[in-house]
Amino acid sequence: MLKRLSLYTLLLCLVPIFVWISGWHWQGDAALTQFDYFLYWLTETGSSPYAIITCGVFALLFFPFAKTKKQWVAVVAIMAVSMVVTQGLKTGLKHVFAEARPYVVELAANSDISTEYFYDQTKEQRQSIVTDYYSSRAETPGWLVEHRENEVSYSFPSGHTIFAVSWLLLAAGFFRLLGQTSSGAKILLILTALWAFLMLVSRLRLGMHYPLDLLISTFIAWVLHCALFVFLEKKRLFPRD
């Protein structure tokens, strides 16, 4: 189990590792492409309130792989606990580390406010600052401005990353736990891995996070879900027979 979860975690760690090796770093919105618009829609699947819909879709997708309705309900309940715990931990850590997002650092460098001043404001005031700043910047499309208006919290850790990595590890862990080796399970796992991989890419391309945010957030999700599935295996709550 741990090897399986670690393998998928390593796959996602390749995103920040490649960024460091290649020397790529976010340089503002002038280099945006049509692919980034696709990444925006993908990243929205991990944004509030759409993340709730994503959770519902994953829960429904797991229904055919459970042996009984009762087992499916138990799986979904554990998934729900995972989401609450990981996102709650994310919220707490953001306020502990209080790291500014890349786009906020750029905003502060090009205006007469500091990152400290920005984060001292209420959420509504921060949103207003973002709106005013981008009103004169034609290189930033409206969809990205709207996304940033809704993402005025701290940078570290990445909630979107923890969300995506958690769902990939939940899929990998439960398929292993339930003994699912069907082609349907493999396809769903591959698609979930691709979705999670691109989610991490989107957070960098849209100026929302640093590579270190992604790496540590992935590690946090890995530790929590390793502990979860070791516990579930030990308790034998989901026998394969």
Pick from 18, 3, 14: which is nearest to 218 by CA?
Answer: 14
Rounded CA-CA distance 205/214 in Å is 12
Q: Which of 25, 95, 147, 160 is catalytic?
A: 160
Output the six-digit token pair for 183: 């082609």
Q: Per residue in 5-39, is it b (16+ CB within 10 Å) or e — as a string?
A: beebbeebbebbeebeeeeeebeebeebeeebeeb
Q: What is the DSSP string of 181-211?
A: -SHHHHHHHHHHHHHHHHHHHHHHHTTS--H
Q: Tell me, yes or no, if 95 is annotated catalytic.
A: no
Name the residues annotated as catalytic. 160, 209
